[in-house]
Amino acid sequence: MTALQQRTGSVGTPVDRVDGVAKTTGTARFSAEHTYPGLTYAAVVHATISRGRITAIDTTRAADIAGVIKVITPENAPPLKPAPRVSMLNMSSIVSGTSVNYLQDNEVHWDGQPVAVVVAETSEAAKEAAALVDVTYRTTESSVDFVTARLQAQVQKGNPLLPAGAKKGDAAAALAGAAVSVDAEYTTPPYNHNALEPHSTTAAWDGDRLTVHDATQSIGWFRTHLALRFGIPEANVRVIAPYVGGGFGGKAFVWPGTVLAALAARATGRPVRLTLTREGVYRTVGGRTPSIQRVALGATQDGKLTALIHQSVARVGRTGGMPEQITTQSRHLYAAENILLEQRAVEQDVLPTTSMRAPGESIGTFALESAIDELADVLGIDPIDLRMHNEPDRDPVDGKPFAHRMLREAYAEGARRFGWSARSPQPRSMNDGRWLVGMGVASAFHPLMLFTSNVTVRLSADGTVLVRCGFQEMGMGGATVQGQIAADALGVPFDAVRVEYGDSALPSAPMAGGSMQTASVANSILEACAKIRASLESLAKRSGAVGQAPKAVLAKAGVPHVEAAVGSDTRLGKVTGQMRMMRQVMRDRRYLRAATGAHFCEVRVDQDTGELRVSRWTSVFDVGRVINPKTAGSQLRGGIIMGIGMALAEETLFDPRTGRIMNPSLAEYHLPVHADIPAIDVSWLGDPDPTMPLGLLGLGEVGITGVAAAVANAVHHATGRRVRDLPITLDKLV
Ligand code: MOS
């Protein structure tokens, strides 16, 4: 089918987001915008030490503020069941951001931990009173400085889907004997989540039933977790989140605000709204780990890789956090004869780290793709040629076939669009007046997963279609593309499809994360639509309407609607869901499946002041079939912008003595603004992946990977200066 023959709204057309109008006109109600009769407001009191005990809490001054209903402390908080210790192998524990049982004892585990919650008739009264809660502590010695703690880091196994280590041949010996080598240390700072919508919860109890409006990426996991903590059946918890103002991994797990809102509502017998301040997000929602990484590469004179070593140190909190899989991409990108990958992590007295867009690969590609550029420089080979010279035919570590791999095509197309041939190879050889000009490339890589999803689809006699599935929409276009997929699968116009999502009362879906939601939900919608087409066919045969449109078949058969369920959350549905999941996992093990891409960056650096500007950007991705070019382009562009922020601006500053975050606000934590970002030329190869539903690969995270390296490589080309420590601020260039 050519583009001209496609129906408006079908797969491949750039449909506007179905939630766009509600969001841009202000009629969309976010989690902090739901009103209940008798609604109250909560504010959090944060600990000001990194480790120790509360010895006294004086709430007198706080309780005196007009409008204060209750000051909840460990002395009077209702009971909460303990959170499970976070582990990759226990799905019910993963949802917990920390293992701390909030307000149940006097222990302090990080600077910023909630130690009290004030509930008041107004948000202003709650905040004023929270500032007047007097807490006295006895401090214990703590470990908060990452750089000095690196020596205590322990080797990590990773998880079965993303093993942390790899060993092929003898990489150390190959490195020692290599004709040409590079061996360098790269460091990345901690980063914090700054979604446009701060984490917010509105919680209301009705007897033993809890309703929660929460800014979450995972309504299903949140429901499970809240039921566990409050000791009530899952069926008694409803989590509603049709609109979420960005997540990026920061809303994937349950952080204190959600639990405390429900706890405060239980303590007061009133509905509670808890919106974290921007500072509150920094103090109670985990961020990305800092990292120290060594990449060592050995090669022959003509640029064949003989050794690839990538070792990383990350940090987690003593009360949880998952070490990022920093070396993942180094398993899959280059056909080195000898490979050694190793990940270490150290536990510290800080808020547990958490997922942030492409956890692992975002910072791992910075080190690997910088090192490849360094090697190209030493060898005097074009950095694209060096990459293509080492492009593997199969997975370099275990020899599995690639489900899809078009990195060669991505570089060829990117070089053409960007005008790579105009680059003069020598560093510091191009300029535009006082601006030094540099061009750099780097590869993007993100592994893919497919989960199972429950869904129901109903086709009615009036020709409309209703898709029901409890997935999450954070603004990336999920609801729109699933509508396009259902419309195509049933042969109806896009406008005839309505998609219900963002409510745990709907059939449950996986979290929006890991770049897996679109494909996982699409898989089930396609299965349900196939069932409906089969029902229609038999109805048509019975009623003599063979070959007629769905509407006509239903009319002739006198049937009001046909409905199909996949999974469907029954006990049987759960068992078959697990079997489907196992089949998928087994099938997935046969391939290496990933989205990849090629980034091209041009920078301008003022030769006197070091002022640095990203002046041009081109990226070409291999993300399989694209369902909606408009939403896909925005996702990929957003990832690139976030990567430019990593490269040039973002950095959480921990006081190395106290472990306190010193820049918890958008005034002091720098993010790129529009003036920092050039027009971004994003495209994709569009070739469907044969192993994925509709041939689509996920694209939520691949955009950010490789970006910081492309910038650093362009900076080196412009200035001759290699910056191995992010962010690349101008003090590192003068
Ligand atoms: Mo993501 S970091 O999988 O939300």
DSSP string of 138-167, one letter each residue: EE------HHHHGGG-EE--EETTEES-EE
Whether 424 contacts 431, CB under 8 Å = no
Dist. CA 670–CA 294, nearest whole Å: 27
Cα-to-centroid distance, 138 and ligand 1 (Å): 37
Of all atoms in ligand 1, which is nearest to the CA of residue 248? 4
Strands 338-348 and 305-317, bridge-based pairing: parallel
247 lines ligand 1 (CB under 6 A): yes
Residues in the chain, pLDDT under 50: 1-5
Considering only CA atoms, which of 65, 43, 108, 435 is closest in space to residue 275? 43
286 lines ligand 1 (CB under 6 A): no
251 lines ligand 1 (CB under 6 A): no
Considering only CA atoms, which of 247, 241, 239 is closest in space to residue 196? 247
Whether 581 contacts 520, CB under 8 Å = no
Report the chain's C-alpha Rg in angstroms.
Answer: 27
CA distances from 129 to 122, 194, 207 (A): 11, 26, 29
pLDDT of 156 reads 86
- For residue range 624-636, list pLDDT tens digits in order: 999 999 999 999 9
Whether 483 contacts 449, CB under 8 Å = no
Residue pointed to by tokens 């896009």: 494
Half-sphere exposure of 350 (CA within 13 A, CB side): 34
Answer yes or no: is the ipTM higher than 0.90.
Answer: yes
322 lines ligand 1 (CB under 6 A): no
Backbone angles phi, psi at 163, to 5 degrees: -60, 140
Of all atoms in ligand 1, which is nearest to the CA of residue 359? 2
Angle between helix axes 707-719 and 629-648 (nearest 10 degrees) is: 50
Cα-to-centroid distance, 636 and ligand 1 (Å): 14
Report the run of H or E that residue 134 belongs to, with start and end: strand 134-139
287 lines ligand 1 (CB under 6 A): no
* Candidate from 357, 361, 471 with most ligand 1 atoms within 8 A of CB, to mutate: 357
Report the run of H or E that residue 619 belongs to, with start and end: strand 612-622
Cα-to-centroid distance, 133 and ligand 1 (Å): 35
All residues at 6 or more sequence positions from 446 whose CB lies less than 8 Å from its CB, including other chains:
358, 361, 515, 594, 595, 596, 698, 701, 702, 705
Cα-to-centroid distance, 316 and ligand 1 (Å): 17
Cα-to-centroid distance, 355 and ligand 1 (Å): 6
513 lines ligand 1 (CB under 6 A): yes
447 lines ligand 1 (CB under 6 A): no
pLDDT of 564 reads 96
Cα-to-centroid distance, 119 and ligand 1 (Å): 32
Among protein residues, the one with the nearest Cα to ligand 1's atom 4 is: 249
Catalytic residue check, 701: yes
Strands 305-317 and 134-139, bridge-based pairing: unpaired
Considering only CA atoms, which of 210, 304, 189, 323 is closest in space to residue 266? 210
* Candidate from 248, 353, 635 with most ligand 1 atoms within 8 A of CB, to mutate: 248
Whether 78 contacts 267, CB under 8 Å = yes
All residues at 6 or more sequence positions from 266 whose CB lies less than 8 Å from its CB, including other chains:
78, 205, 230
Considering only CA atoms, which of 308, 327, 429 is closest in space to residue 372? 308
325 lines ligand 1 (CB under 6 A): no
109 lines ligand 1 (CB under 6 A): no
Dist. CA 380–CA 179, nearest whole Å: 14
pLDDT of 699 reads 95
Of all atoms in ligand 1, which is nearest to the CA of residue 358? 2
pLDDT of 585 reads 67
* Candidate from 355, 520, 635, 699 with most ligand 1 atoms within 8 A of CB, to mutate: 355
| Backbone φ/ψ region at 320: left (φ over 0), alpha (ψ -120 to 50), beta | left
Q: pTM for this structure?
A: 0.96
198 lines ligand 1 (CB under 6 A): no
249 lines ligand 1 (CB under 6 A): yes
The DSSP code sequence of 59-116 is -HHHHTSTTEEEEE-TTTPPP-PPPPPP-TT-HHHHTBS----TTSSSEE-STT-EEE
pLDDT of 550 reads 85
- For residue range 460-487, list pLDDT tens digits in order: 999 999 999 999 999 999 999 999 999 9
Cα-to-centroid distance, 420 and ligand 1 (Å): 32
pLDDT of 96 reads 87
383 lines ligand 1 (CB under 6 A): no
Of all atoms in ligand 1, which is nearest to the CA of residue 252? 4
CB count in 10 Å sphere of residue 31: 29
**Catalytic, out of 197, 650, 651, 701:** 701
Q: Which amino acid belongs to residue 373?
A: D
CB count in 10 Å sphere of residue 137: 18
All residues at 6 or more sequence positions from 370 whose CB lies less than 8 Å from its CB, including other chains:
184, 186, 295, 442, 709, 712, 713, 722, 724
End-to-end CA distance of the chain: 56
359 lines ligand 1 (CB under 6 A): yes
Cα-to-centroid distance, 380 and ligand 1 (Å): 38
Dist. CA 713–CA 718, nearest whole Å: 9
Beta-bridge mates of residue 54? 137
Largest CA distance in the chain: 82
Q: Which domains does the chain have, with CATH numbers?
A: 3-27+450-588 (3.30.365.10), 34-141+196-246+251-284 (3.30.365.10), 149-191+288-448+593-732 (3.30.365.10)
Sign of the four-CA dihedral 268, 135, 660, 79: negative
Cα-to-centroid distance, 394 and ligand 1 (Å): 27
Dist. CA 18–CA 485, nearest whole Å: 14
443 lines ligand 1 (CB under 6 A): no
Cα-to-centroid distance, 253 and ligand 1 (Å): 10
Whether 493 contacts 7, CB under 8 Å = yes
Of all atoms in ligand 1, which is nearest to the CA of residue 515? 3
Of all atoms in ligand 1, which is nearest to the CA of residue 249? 4
Q: What is the 3-state secondary structure (H, E, C) of 290-349?
A: CEEEEEEEEECCCCCEEEEEEEEEEEEECCECCCCCCCHHHHHCCCCCEEEEEEEEEEEC
Whether 34 contacts 213, CB under 8 Å = yes
Of all atoms in ligand 1, which is nearest to the CA of residue 513? 3
CA distances from 619 to 124, 391, 420, 424, 432 (A): 46, 18, 12, 20, 23
Alpha carbon 201 to its chain centroid, in Å, reads 20
Dist. CA 274–CA 230, nearest whole Å: 18
698 lines ligand 1 (CB under 6 A): no
Whether 253 contacts 240, CB under 8 Å = no
**Using CB atoms within 10 A of its CB, is residue 463 exposed (0-12), middle (13-18) or buried (19+)?**
middle
Cα-to-centroid distance, 162 and ligand 1 (Å): 15
511 lines ligand 1 (CB under 6 A): no
Of all atoms in ligand 1, which is nearest to the CA of residue 516? 3
Q: Which residues of 376-391 are buried (b: 16+ CB within 10 A; e: fewer)?
A: bbebebbbbebbebbe
Alpha carbon 249 to its chain centroid, in Å, reads 4
Residue pointed to by tokens 């902090």: 32
